[in-house]
Amino acid sequence: MNFKIAVLPGDGIGPEISVQGVDVMAAVCERFGHTVEFKYGIVGASAIDAVGDPFPKETLELCKESDAVLFSAVGDPKFDNDPTAKVRPEQGLLAMRKQLGLFANIRPVETFKCLIDKSPLKREIVDGANFICIRELTGGMYFGKKFESDDVAYDTNHYTRKEIERILRVGFEYARKRNKHLTVVDKANVLASSRLWRKVAQEMEPQFPDVKTDYMFVDNAAMKMILDPRFFDVMVTENTFGDILTDEGSVISGSMGLLPSASTGESTPVFEPIHGSWPQAKGLNIANPLAQILSVAMLFEYFGLAEEGKLIREAVDASLDAGVSTPDITGNKGTQYGTREVGAWIVEYIRKK
Ligand code: IPM
Ligand code: MN
């Protein structure tokens, strides 16, 4: 394949992990005879600083004319601590999701054999946990009508049947390809929007008779994920619940630096780590590049290139087994490896294979 990739490094540790993702993608392309052209765009705080807009038109155009986007992270404390700021880096990410119609965010939660004891949860609870959270990404409170004054503020959890149906379909189809168990996570005992989710899901169930569908309130799901994560195969949920539950999910793997995601929908798909920009670590060469590198594996798999994805996963597993890991994993014990060293080790593995 001839890949045209838009690379959006963003802020904080974004640029450092981005380099590792790009190098791994280039190495895999070379190894399998694909060609790849990387073009860079600005997004987030760095784009606000440069042109006053967290998702400039040029970046949107670049994304639209590419086959895929390799995104890293956005965010900067100078905006977090200023509630009066008119533009925020995160708006760049939200604008990208909305403008590219990326309604389905696929967030796999998996465990890595040699890291089981890194999880703060007991081995017997997390060992073998492996599920996918499908998060609706362009609706709900994130995008519903908002109002903000000194005395009153609200966000609206707005969902249409069409939005619900298309994301549930993604959930049912993923379940069908996996262990045929779909959990619809909502808060139908309280929220009108959730009741519509549940109604639509129940109406769709007969189209997927091979899938066992169950319904769980989000508070209960948050508890179940920690008590018995192996219960889940595919979970599908609205934007806000999915945001919260996937941070919780990263605890199961042992580090937030390990989880990649894919955002897909109407236009160019975006592949990105689920973690943020970790500004405190910027420039220190300590950020874990694996979530970014695994998002490159998801990119290949999206295009049906399973072998390419498999080689990346194998290289990542090998690096973990060899103890070539950043301090979030090694806990500052043993030999220290930085972002660059872990990336270079994985590239080398791919070249030699
Ligand atoms: C995520 C992030 C974003 C979100 C932020 C940075 C806007 O937390 O991708 O999970 O809330 O969606
Ligand atoms: Mn989040």
Residue whose CA is at the smallest distance from ligand 1 atom 6: 90
Per-residue pLDDT band at 324 (split at 50, 70, 90): very high
Question: Could you tell me which residues come within 8 angstroms of residue 89 by beta carbon, excluding any fewer than 6 positions away?
Answer: 10, 11, 44, 45, 47, 48, 54, 74, 75, 76, 79, 277
Lining ligand 1 with CB less than 6 A are 75, 90, 93, 243, 274, 276
pTM metric for this prediction: 0.94
pLDDT tens string 64-92:
999 999 999 999 999 988 888 889 999 99
Q: What burial class does residue 81 get, using C-beta atoms within 10 Å of its C-beta: 0-12 exposed, 13-18 middle, 19+ buried?
A: exposed
Residues with CB under 5 A from ligand 2 (ion): 243
Residue 144 carries which DSSP code? S
Catalytic site residue from 118, 187, 233, 349 = 187
| Percentage of the chain modeled with pLDDT above 70 | 100
Among all bound ligands, the one having the nearest atom to the CA of 244 is 2
- Looking at every residue in the chain, the average pLDDT score rounds to 96
Residue 32 CA, ligand 2 centroid: distance in Å: 34
Q: What average pLDDT does this structure show over 223-241?
A: 97
Residue 72 CA, ligand 1 centroid: distance in Å: 12
| 317: annotated active-site residue | no
Amino acid making up residue 302: Y
